Structure 1
């Protein structure tokens, strides 16, 4: 039976839709919160369209992005060689798997596989490279947003702004960074360990319901 566009792409459509809704909600309530803080300081509130370029919004947004991309990058890389007995998220402890074999050019293979050479070498690691670049960009934007927000608060307090070199030595940025990283590491550890003993019928992230606890992989 031929499936329509939504059926073929429903997982990505739903998650992108949830992301957009959550981002707009964060933007709106962040704007409200920022204006409350400005009012408490006796300052004029910001119009909605001006909030998007504030350090307050940029820092809060990319603070979350960078930790997610770090999580996915490490997950992709570490699952190449590390194992967890019984986990649906782990490769087999003893056997080679389909993802381990060298790519073979064929009619339906991606372009870099057909071309070979440096393009294939790059393509074989393209997922990790993409997540690494997204992490670096998001981390940089988080740093920029936090730095800008810090100086905006300094101005409100009537204190001098600081240089980026001085700011990066302050605990604020690193507190924001590590409070996100630790939650991402915990969430990955949770799915790795919980899939040893718990099941969800129909989910590709779970082993079959009747699979033994110490059976590794899906």
Structure 2
């Protein structure tokens, strides 16, 4: 089917996301119940674990770092360069590839904000970075909320007072959870930027043509 071919990348990535989330859910439940058993407490059901701080904190902790990586990548590649990388614009290119969208104000095939002009067009011009950063902020807030809930549950197991969200926000534990993911995202982005200078994957839009010289910038 043409529809499947046209959307196969999104379909495969969506299925992989759901499959790995399911794997995370069941393995996380097992780990959590083993911890409860060590404290002589009853195991929790799958439905209860699904909305627990233990599970949701881990989910949003990872989503947060991914959206940070993507938003930073979109914004930084608009202004910064890496000569020879397939992930960069050519630093010697005098003009931007994306011409002024105002020139397409009367193009019937242009997106509605482009045709509308003014603030809608300006916001639309940077909408990818804006939305990705907004998703980062939402994921960050949900990570904080559920990480605090997980910390409160852990404190209860040991008969300690549960910290509030503000107290948890200021804790080393919360920032350790965030930084351990953020550093890996920036590292992986830097690695693909540099490796795409010298290495190829034929057929991928993220790679330069196999016979392209290392000095060629852009895919």
**Interval containing the TM-score (normalised by the shorter chain):** over 0.9
Match for residue 117 of structure 2?
A: 116
Q: CA deviation at 1:165?
A: 2.1
- Matched with 2:172 is 171
TM-score (norm 2): 0.96
Match of 1:78 in 2: 76
Name the residue aligned to 2:7. 9
TM-score by length of 1: 0.96
What RMSD in Å do the two structures reach over aligned CA positions? 1.0
Map of 1:38 onto structure 2: 36
Structure 1 position 163, deviation (Å): 1.9
Q: Which residue is equivalent to 2:161?
A: 160
After TM superposition, where is structure 1 displaced by more than 3 Å over at least 4 residues in a row?
none
Equivalent pairs, count: 215
List gaps (5 residues or longer) in structure 1: none
Return the alpha-carbon distance in structure 1 between the equivalents of residues 112 and 88 of structure 2: 29
2:27 is matched with 29
Q: Distance in 2 between matches of 1:123 and 1:152?
A: 43
Where does residue 202 of structure 2 map in the other structure?
201
Q: Distance in 1 between matches of 2:13 and 2:165?
A: 35
Once the two structures are superposed, residues 62-81 of structure 1 have per-residue CA deviations (whole angstroms, 9 ceiling, x without a partner) of: 00000000000000000001
- Could you say which residue in structure 1 is the equivalent of 2:100? 102
Number of the residue aligned with 1:68: 66
Q: CA deviation at 1:98?
A: 2.2
In structure 2, distance between residues paired with 1:58 and 1:15: 21
Q: Which residue of the other structure, out of 46, 53, 64, is the alignment partner of 1:48?
A: 46
